[in-house]
Structure 1
Amino acid sequence: QDGSILIGGGAAGVEAANVLWVFATVRHIPPERTMRMLESRITSGARALDPRSTINVFWSMARLNQYMPVELMHTLQTQATSQQSHLSPGLVGTLLWSLGRMGYQGASHTLLQATEKVLARSEGELDSYAVS
């Protein structure tokens, strides 16, 4: 036991993602032990994350200026790619900002293709944001 109050199972990943988001929102870097526990739970429970929660983990890590462990990055990229039909242009923008902010050059080709598909699918929606 790590003494945490988080629940078990797939919901642990969702709870951990929410806790990480709160830390990022208030710009408080949690202690190293807490961060490793959150990362572990998010990695093991990633399949339970909805698209917004998946992208929020990328955003949270970027906002906290944290290095994302390779296993977590791979797991989240796989999850985001599998959720591409549910991603909005806004979520794609947040994802791309997060990857850039972290200076992450290893984004998978599959993930980048998924973001391109979302943006192509949403081209009409994006035009409505154009400033004239």
Structure 2
Amino acid sequence: MTTALEKELISRVRSAPVIAASGTCREALWVMFQHPESKCIVVCNPENEPLGLLMSERFFLIATGRLGIGLFYRETVVNYMNRLPLIADISTPLESLRNDAMNRLEMYRNDCVVVSRSGKFVGVLYVSDLLR
């Protein structure tokens, strides 16, 4: 049964591509180009539990600034993901989630918020979704 709080949050949740923690940076770039509408890629384990977050713009800047691109392509995404993204359960009150998002370190303030249900990945929220 879905609560009113969950319905409010569900209405704002967006889909986002997922990559395995064992995925390479080459695979992450391929996922980015397959989903140009998405601001992020969520890194999950085999049980679909979110482990980290790759913001597409930041990751692309890292990729294009590399001299040893061949080595970069073979590295795992774990080396470049945000290992402590804001992950919220779908039952989190929107106001609480909004406060948590805005109180992050400034460099992460515009990062997507990962939404889960019982620890499993559901989708993401953009900061704009929280503010509307």
| TM-score, normalisation: structure 1 | 0.26
Greater strand fraction, Structure 1 or Structure 2: 2
Q: Which has the higher helix share?
A: 1
TM-score, reference length from structure 2:
0.26
